[in-house]
Amino acid sequence: MTIPTEPVGSVPRPSYLLDAMSGQADGTVDAAALDAAIDRAVAETIAAMAATGSPVITDGEQSKPSFATYPLSGMQNLAPDGVEIPFEDGHTRQLPRLTAGPFRYTTYAGQFVAQAKRHTDARLKQAVIAPSALSLLYPQDGIAGYNRDAFIADLTAECEKDIRSALDAGADSVQIDFTEGRLACKLDPSRGLLRDFVALNNAVLARFSDAERQRIGIHTCPGGDHDSTHSADVDYAELLPDLFAMNAGRFFMQLASETDRARVLDIVARERRDGQTVYVGVIDPINPEIETPEQVRDRTLEAAEHLGVGTFGTTDDCGFSPFGDDISTARDTAFAKIKARVDGTALAAAALGSA
C-alpha cells in the first residue's frame, strides 16, 4: 500500500536570493537581476525537493516576501500600521492596513505555478493565503466610501481568482494557508471570530465544484516564524470542530510538535467529515533536530491506529520559512527533514501492507 505525503510549501531562500531581494529594496539590484536570482532559486529548490523522493513538489515559495502578503506587492492603497501578531518569543509580525477601495490583488498564485512548471513535470502544489487572513486588512473604523460589505465582496472574488489562477496554470492541488484559525480561538474564546473566518472561507470554496474542492486543501498550524509560534497554547479541541466545517477535501495539520498526539488524533477521527483526507504533521520544522525515518514511521503508524488506513496522509507541521527573511532553519536541514518524511512514510506503508 501507499500513504500520500506532501510538503506544506516554503523552504528557506538561498543567501544570493535574499541579497538580491534586499538589493532591489534599496535600489542596488535591478528587476532583471532579481528575476534571474528568483528563477535560479526556484529551479534549485524544485531539483532538491525532487531529490528527496517527494511525489508532490512545491517551488518553496522562493519569490514570496511572505506567505500572507504576496498578493499585495506594490499595492498603493495600504498603510503599514495594520493588525499586529505577537509570537511567543516576543517578536511580532504586522499586517498592512487597507486605506481605500477597491481591493484588488497585484499578484496571483498562477504566476508561481507557471514559473515552476518551466523546471519540472512533477505534480505541483501551490499554497495561497486564506481570505480570512486578508480580511484583517480592513480597519475596524471602516473606510470612507468603501464599506466592509463591498470589501468582502471584492476579497471573495479576488481569492477565487487567485485559486483558479493556480489550477488553470497546472497546479495539481492548491493549499489555503489558515494559520489564523488557531489564533482566532485565542483572540476570541467564544469562537465567534473563528466561525466568521470559516464562513468567509466557505464563501470562496462555494464558488468551486465538488471535484475542484477535492483538489483544494486547508493548512492549519499555530504559526511558525523564527522558531516560535503564536497560538500553540490553544487546545486543538477548540479549533477542530469548526475547521472541518470548511468545505475542502484535504486538511494539513501540525501534529509532530503536539504534546498529546493521540488525543488530537481521536478528536480528528470524531470531527472530520466523510471525504475529507487529513494530512498529519510528522515533521517539526521548528525543532533543529532532523527526524529519523523510523521516528516518522512510528508517528505515521500512530495516525493509522487512530484514523484508519487509507484515510490520511503525512506532511510537515508548517512551512520551513513562511516569511522570506526567516533564516532560522538551514536549507539543507529542511530538505533532510523532507526526505525523512518521505522515507519514513514509505516505511509505515510497508509495515501496514505486511500486517
Nearest to 244 by CA among 213, 212, 271, 275: 271
Q: How far is CA 1 from CA 135, 269, 294, 317, in A?
A: 42, 21, 18, 24
Q: What are the tens digits of pLDDT across the range 93-106?
A: 888 999 999 999 99
Is 268 a member of any domain?
yes
Residues near 336 by beta carbon (within 8 Å), at least 6 away in sequence: 290
Q: What are the tens digits of pLDDT across the range 96-137?
A: 999 999 999 999 999 999 999 999 999 999 999 999 999 999
Is 165 a member of any domain?
yes
Q: Check residue 272 and give its pLDDT.
A: 96
Beta bridge partners of 177: 129, 219
What is the arithmetic mean of pLDDT over 233-249?
94
Kindly tell me if the per-residue pLDDT of 50 is higher than 70.
yes
Q: Check residue 355 and give its pLDDT.
A: 55
Split at pLDDT 50, 70, 90, the class of 167 is: very high
Is 10 a member of any domain?
no
What is the arithmetic mean of pLDDT over 262-275?
96
Residues 261, 159: Cα–Cα separation, whole Å: 33
Kindly tell me if the per-residue pLDDT of 227 is higher than 80.
no
What is the arithmetic mean of pLDDT over 214-224?
90
Kindly tell me if the per-residue pLDDT of 66 is higher than 80.
yes
Q: What are the tens digits of pLDDT across the range 298-313?
A: 999 999 999 999 999 9
What is the arithmetic mean of pLDDT over 209-225?
91
Give the count of beta carbons closer than 10 Å to the beta carbon of residue 298: 16
Is 85 a member of any domain?
yes
Residues 291, 337: Cα–Cα separation, whole Å: 6
Q: Check residue 83 and give its pLDDT.
A: 85
Helix (H) or strand (E) holding 51: helix 31-51
Residue 144 domain boundaries: 54-353
CATH of the domain at 163: 3.20.20.210
Is 35 a member of any domain?
no
Domain count, the chain: 1
Is 30 a member of any domain?
no
Is 94 a member of any domain?
yes
Is 75 a member of any domain?
yes
